[in-house]
Amino acid sequence: MTTAVPTASGSGNAATAKFRTNEVTADTSTDRAAAIYKDVLGKLSEVIYEHEVTYDEYRVLKQWLIALGEGGEWPLWLDVFLEHFIEDSNSRIFDGTKGSIEGPYYVPDAPNLGSDAALPMRDDEVGTAMIFQGQVRDLDGSPIENASVEIWHADSAGYYSQFDDGLGIPEWNLRGTFSTDADGHFKIHTMQPAPYQIPHDGPTGAFIRSYGGHPWRPAHLHLKVTAPGKRLITTQLYFQGGEHVDDDVAGAVKPELILDPQPGADGVNVVNYDFVLDPE
């Protein structure tokens, strides 16, 4: 195993490059754009007057924004500091399992592993083995066969495969797509993740230090769960009593999204979590 930690520029530039492979659009009307623009600038100007933001501070901001872009850290900074508000404001009307932010390190099309399998991992993968299992249901409580459960998470050092600064972590390490069985069940064998520091050796880290903050997120699993005719949910699951569950730098913990694994046979932790999908 490596003792290196992810660098902001390595993982940031990889996240920026991945993001740019998709052309994204939104059907925002000119009227809506005008309303949002006016409110954003209006609220920013209030902050400027309220705090009498100085010219030195303005120039530091400009310098920092340039460095943030050059380091490829826009996906990192945006997903840590803004995505939670976007996710939360868009999901308030739904009744199924709560969502949470996607973050910068999702990769589509992870290999399909069936309903009961181990995630790809190295022979010397560090951590406590964990079985994460559950059922996918609709709002009426009917099990959904062939629902798709995509999962991805960091290794014990905080690396996500494909965002590893060229360390050579296998392409799909700790990533996989599961399909529920006839009773809607899935069973994922992996390693319980550890608390995670976002890469903080670049401008995002400087930002955090500037206000006396910390770069930690609680240990988490990332998931996307869906089925034909159902709303895709992107979410994260956390661990009861874990460090930083109450002070996630990304503000993305919700009380409904906390797991409490119990020690099972052979030193393997076991935890159950069921997903409920809204209709599309």
Interface residues toward ligand MBD, by CB under 6 A: 76, 79-80, 101, 103-105, 196, 198, 217, 250
Token couple for 181: 């069985």
250 binds, among ligand MBD, Fe ion, none (CB under 5 to 8 A by kind): ligand MBD
Beta strands (DSSP E) in 57-120 are 116-118
**Pairing relation of β-strands 275-277 and 128-138?**
parallel
- Which of Fe ion, ligand MBD, none interacts with 253 (beta carbon under 5 to 8 A by kind)? none
DSSP structural state of residue 120 = P
Q: What residue 80 binds from Fe ion, ligand MBD, none (CB within 5 to 8 A, per partner kind)?
A: ligand MBD
Tell me how far apart the alpha carbons of residues 168 and 170 are, in angstroms, rounded to a whole number: 6
Closest CA to 235 of 83, 47, 77, 39: 83
Q: Which does 79 bind (CB under 5 to 8 A by kind): ligand MBD, Fe ion, none?
A: ligand MBD
Strand partners, 197: 216
Dist. CA 174–CA 154, nearest whole Å:
7
Among 103, 203, 205, 261, binds Fe ion (CB under 5 A): 103
How much of the chain is in helix, strand and coil states, percent to nearest 5? 30, 25, 50
Closest CB 167 distance from ligand MBD, rounded Å: 16
Beta carbon nearer to ligand MBD, 152 or 186: 152
- Selection from ligand MBD, Fe ion, none that 198 binds (CB < 5 to 8 A by kind) is ligand MBD
CB of 52 to Fe ion, least distance (A): 37
DSSP letter at 110?
A: P
**Pick 144 or 250: Cβ nearer Fe ion:** 250
> Any contact of residue 261 with Fe ion (CB under 5 A)?
no
Choices 95-103, 173-181, 227-235, 266-274 (CB under 5 A): range interacting with Fe ion: 95-103
63, amino acid identity: Q
| Nearest distance from C-beta of residue 121 to ligand MBD, angstroms | 17
Q: State the Cα angle at 175 between 170 and 176, rounded to 5°.
A: 125
Q: How far is the CB of 44 from ligand MBD (least distance, A)?
A: 24
- Quick one: 75 or 184, whose CB is closer to ligand MBD? 75
Q: Is 251 helix (H, G, I), strand (E, B) or coil?
A: coil
